[in-house]
Structure 1
């Protein structure tokens, strides 16, 4: 009898856990789902997306803001060439391939804003 009682409580806990897990994974997989960033590339890009974007005076005006946003969503940060120790703003080089061209975005990540310095072809 004690075994059946333990088994019953185990199944109750298991069913509650499964319901929670299904709800949580459904949120993660949806369009408005939860985004998990475990790797440094994803964490830095997510931080940069949450700040307002400013353009430096040297930045050419014909570059589109949608192009910059594509860097911040699909780009790869080159941490070897980036200056992550500079103060007050860290400078990142973000690689992104678009229309068979590899482009490099140079941006400064400050505490309250992002300054786009340049976009160049590699």
Structure 2
């Protein structure tokens, strides 16, 4: 059998197999989340966010909404040089850079515990 025929058969089988995998695994609701930034944000979102008194005061003072914080927890970037610092009680502090609905930069500080995530502070840059 010629090389071109073997290549055509291989590519056709690869295409069929790829389509089969996409149809089977696409319905499960799985998402690609293997990078450190994505994994940490997903971990915080899955636990639910408890808002501290200081953060609630910062909401009123800065005009940042909880919707802005939730969008930043989905699309924001974690500054790992300022994050992953142990806190009292066993949690770790994460500093997340995000944006408001008005496209203004904000910084969110979240302490991530084993069973919950606590919003510590929110501020505009």
In which range does the TM-score fall when normalised by the shorter chain? 0.7 to 0.9
Q: Aligned-pair distance for 1:20?
A: 4.3
What runs of 5+ residues in structure 2 fail to find an aligned partner? 2-8
Task: Check the 8 A contact 1:56/1:117 in 2, yes or no.
Answer: yes
Task: Check the 8 A contact 1:104/1:119 in 2, yes or no.
Answer: yes
Q: How does 1:93-104 map to 2 (within 5 A)?
A: 93-98=95-100, 99-104=102-107
Which protein has the bigger helix share? 2
Task: Check the 8 A contact 1:27/1:33 in 2, yes or no.
Answer: no
TM-score w.r.t. length of structure 1: 0.73
Task: Check the 8 A contact 1:37/1:43 in 2, yes or no.
Answer: yes
Corresponding residue number in structure 1 for 2:80 = 79
Q: Aligned-pair distance for 1:109?
A: 0.8
Q: Aligned-pair distance for 1:59?
A: 1.4
Query: What is the root-mean-square deviation of aligned Cα atoms in Å?
Result: 3.1
Q: How does 1:1-122 map to 2 (within 5 A)?
A: 18-26=15-23, 33-60=29-56, 61-62=59-60, 63-82=64-83, 84-87=84-87, 88-98=90-100, 99-122=102-125
> Kindly tell me: are residues 80 and 34 of structure 1, through their superposed partners in 2, closer, same or farther at Cα, counting changes over 3 Å?
same
Query: Number of residues paired by the alignment?
Result: 114
> Kindly tell me: are residues 53 and 22 of structure 1, through their superposed partners in 2, closer, same or farther at Cα, counting changes over 3 Å?
same
Q: Give the Cα separation in 2 of the matches to 1:51 and 1:27.
A: 28
Task: Check the 8 A contact 1:27/1:34 in 2, yes or no.
Answer: no
TM-score w.r.t. length of structure 2: 0.72
